[in-house]
Amino acid sequence: MSIYDTLNEPQKEAVLHTEGPLLILAGAGSGKTRVLTHRIAYLIEEQGVNPWNILAITFTNKAAGEMRQRVDSLVGFGSESIWVSTFHSACVRILRRYIDRLGYDNRFTIYDTDDQKTLMKEVCRKVDLDTKRFKERMLLSVISSAKNEMILPDEFELNAGGDFAQLQIAKAYREYEAQLRSNNALDFDDLLVRTVQLLDTQTDVRESYQEQFRYIMVDEYQDTNTVQFKLVSLLAGKYRNLCVVGDDDQSIYKFRGANIRNILDFEKEFPDARVIKLEQNYRSTENILNAANGVIRNNKGRKDKTLWTDNGEGEKITLRQFDTGYDEAEFIAEDIRKSISEGAAYNDSAILYRANAQSRLFEEKFVAMNIPYKIVGGINFYARREIKDILAYLKTIDNGKDDLAVRRIINVPKRGIGLTTINRIQESASEREIGFYEALLTPELIAGVGRSASKLDSFAALIEYFKGQAERESLTDLLNEVIEKTGYIENLDADNPEDAEARIQNIDELVSKAAAYEEDCADRDEASTLSGFLEEVALVADIDSLDEDQDYVVLMTLHSAKGLEFPRVYLAGLEDGLFPSYMTITGDDPEELEEERRLCYVGITRAEQKLTLTCARKRMVRGDIQYNKMSRFIREIPMELLETGGGRTGGTREACDIRTTDSTRAAAFNAAPAGKMPFSALRKGSQLTAEKGGALSYGIGDRVRHVKFGEGTVMDIKEGGRDKEVTVEFDSAGVRKMFAMFAKLVKVQ
């Protein structure tokens, strides 16, 4: 029997269709990776396609690694020639060869989030931006969004028109780009943007890669942004053998720039495209899938499909409502402990929530009950201070043009080189139009450094020594020598003996990572280089740190859970105002609510056997007690799929008592504690501007202030069923509609 006979009919159809554009709509758990890997095998074994003519793109290193393993096992000899990589990794490979065409040195540095923040602080200082009004994070977010849409500084400034705030951001954007180029550095968005620029402007490079990649496959296509779409379109421009796999129902990264229109409008871009739906799910039970279908069918912006399975009906979905968030956390912790006593493993269970802050209550309970856990999406290993310090040394050795890296370690460990001296070096470098490190090499030409000149000379000599060693030594030996000769570990012990041990362990782990990198290179018969190591480190994502072999309960946001699956899933905090958020509910954009619903759909479909939904009647949010009703997403699940318990489950915890009649069901879903309105919040003192049905302290035309949106003008006030609906045009956030009781608008005198 052929390996292709193990596929179901739609899967087989997708594998055998090799020529021309193809859209595979792959529902959650429908075996899309299996289809992609079998399609690659079919192209090579049955169609005679050369492995190096195939490009497969995924979004995470983890997904790329899994695909690579599966392809190797199916294809065997020659599979190593297939390009299986993330978007960013593929772009780095192209740029390392050709970025000099764009005026960069091929040994460029890749800046991570922390590097970007540091650089933006310098930019704000240089262009004299008010960082109280223009936060570094906000500026970086706006710039990232612009790059995702291929809007560069000139166009951004043009689009700003006469808007003062936008012109200030444009000024920061222009300087940010200038500093990146000066440092011979790229941020993550640049990896894509510069590759598109390269392919767009260099005809010979574009034609070379079009000829190489005759067959292109893109996984998770619903998560692509505009620049990724442009990149794929350029590469597939000649042969048009583009196969994209995705699920519009799992498009949840709009905040990162993902454009759901890429998948929804695929047939418009490629009118001759074939569309194949994969609707059979191999992961979950019927009840879980029916719940997911019940929720997602309320979205209008989607392609019609319905998940089904042969896995059997399975357990009903457990739904519990508690008095407080503490009770919710206690129930889940005890339920996990109970499952352990029944033979389950800790890593069978995952707790998913909307916001990172929700993890605290679970952590406290798990510590108290001695339940091992791991939070995915915490501080990335490579973001830790000691790791960034050592990597900055390596970046300086590899690329002396990276001013940020040099400035970070010039006085680490302490060498008596103060901030005044560093600023004078920077001034001298700017005046002479050279890099920071280049200026260091001639300290005698730097005005005002005085006795620090010898210290600068000594630091530069050390780096030059390391540069020489880098050409002669292995990466691991170089790394160990840097750690030893700088005295970094001794300095850790002296500075803070209490956490020195943990930091030393982290440094040891970095050395292990370097050794593993060298082994991988040897296995692939490739040379291990300092640039290659730094590149690999820069491209590591948080989710890649999840070790599925370790036995612990996983805690993560719903966004982090995408692509994962667990036997037991707890969806916590399912309350209107939390999930979906209050801003989503009261906003004017229906697409925002659809995005939240897709997020709920993703959460539900992570569960294989057991799904538990929990919510609380009241919860502490930002120091205030907030009363919420159950999430509208729960209401969208067919009643017959839910097991709600009855009576008390112990202590102060209460189970939901939802009857099957429409009237009592609606009452249960909308219920709030006596005398309290859903969404209302108790604050210290009385800060509510209006009670239900009471008079407002402001009227149409008045200026008001909102805690998040700032100041604005009241445009309209309407009487609602429970509360007054107020429309406000905010100076910076545009027009918003909100309920007066919850908005807590304050009249500006």
Question: Of residues 13, 18, 33, 177, which has the active-site annotation?
Answer: 33
* Distance (Å, whole) CA 545 – CA 113: 17
Largest Cα–Cα distance of the chain, in whole Å? 86
Active site residue 421: no
Between CA 592 and CA 603, with CA 673 as vertex, the angle to 5 degrees is 35
CA 466 from centroid of its chain's CA atoms: 35
Do the bridges between strand 215-218 and strand 54-58 make them parallel or antiparallel, or are there none, so unpaired? Answer: parallel
Checking DSSP bridges between strand 724-730 and strand 734-739, what pairing results, if any?
Answer: antiparallel
Q: Report the C-alpha gap between 732 and 412 in whole angstroms.
A: 41
**Active-site annotation holder among 112, 175, 220, 535:** 220
Active-site annotation holds for 606: yes
Q: Which residue has the tokens 């202590």?
A: 651
- Catalytic hit among 606, 617, 618, 653: 606
The residues with which 575 forms a beta bridge, in sequence order, are 630
B/e letters for 536-550, b = 16+ CB within 10 Å, e = fewer, are: bbbbbbbbbebeeee
- Six token digits for residue 495: 């500075």
DSSP secondary-structure letter at 356? G
Quickly count: other Cβ atoms within 10 Å of residue 169's Cβ: 21
Under DSSP, is residue 22 helix (H, G, I), strand (E, B) or coil? strand
Task: Given the residues 12, 32, 70, 171, select the one marked as catalytic.
Answer: 32
Measured CA distances, 124 to 58, 92, 130, 164, 186 (Å)? 35, 28, 7, 16, 19
Closest C-alpha to 616, from 317, 321, 319, 320? 321
- Give bridge partners of residue 675 from the DSSP assignment: none
Integer Cα distance of 114 and 385 in angstroms: 10
250 catalytic residue (yes or no): yes
What count of other Cβ atoms lies within 10 Å of the Cβ of residue 710?
Answer: 12
Do 563 and 509 contact (CB within 8 A), yes or no? no
* Whole-number Å distance between alpha carbons of 341 and 261: 47
SS3 136: helix
Angstrom CA distances, 339 to 93, 268, 566, stand at: 47, 50, 14
The secondary element (H helix, E strand) that includes residue 319 is strand 317-324
Closest among 718, 741, 715, 740 to 728, alpha carbons compared: 715
Alpha-carbon span 244 to 235, nearest angstrom: 13
Q: For residue 381, give both structure tokens.
A: 């290993």
Q: Which of 189, 219, 518, 654 is catalytic?
A: 219
Q: Is 130 labeled as catalytic in the residue annotation? A: no
User: Per the residue annotation, which of 250, 605, 626, 644 is the catalytic one?
Assistant: 250
Nearest Cα neighbor of 735 from 530, 587, 523 is 587
| Backbone conformation region of residue 376, classed left if phi is above 0, alpha if psi is from -120 to 50, else beta | beta
In the block, tokens 């948080």 appear at 542
Using an 8 Å Cβ cutoff, are 449 and 460 in contact?
Answer: no
Looking at residue 741, its amino acid is M
Distance of CA 302 to CAs 320, 423, 604, Å? 30, 55, 18
Give long-range contacts, CB 8 A cutoff, 24+ apart: 173-181: 173/139, 173/142, 173/143, 173/146, 175/123, 175/126, 175/127, 176/119, 176/120, 176/123, 176/139, 176/143, 177/152, 177/153, 179/119, 179/122, 179/123, 179/403, 180/111, 180/119, 181/103, 181/104
Distance CA 730, CA 745 (A): 12
In the 8-state DSSP scheme, what is residue 403?
H
Contacts of 545 (CB under 8 A, 6+ apart): 376, 380, 381
Q: Vertex 333, ends 328 and 336: CA angle to 5°?
A: 125
Structure tokens at 470: 């880098």
Cβ atoms of 703 and 749 within 8 Å: the answer is: no
Catalytic residues: 32-33, 219-220, 250, 606
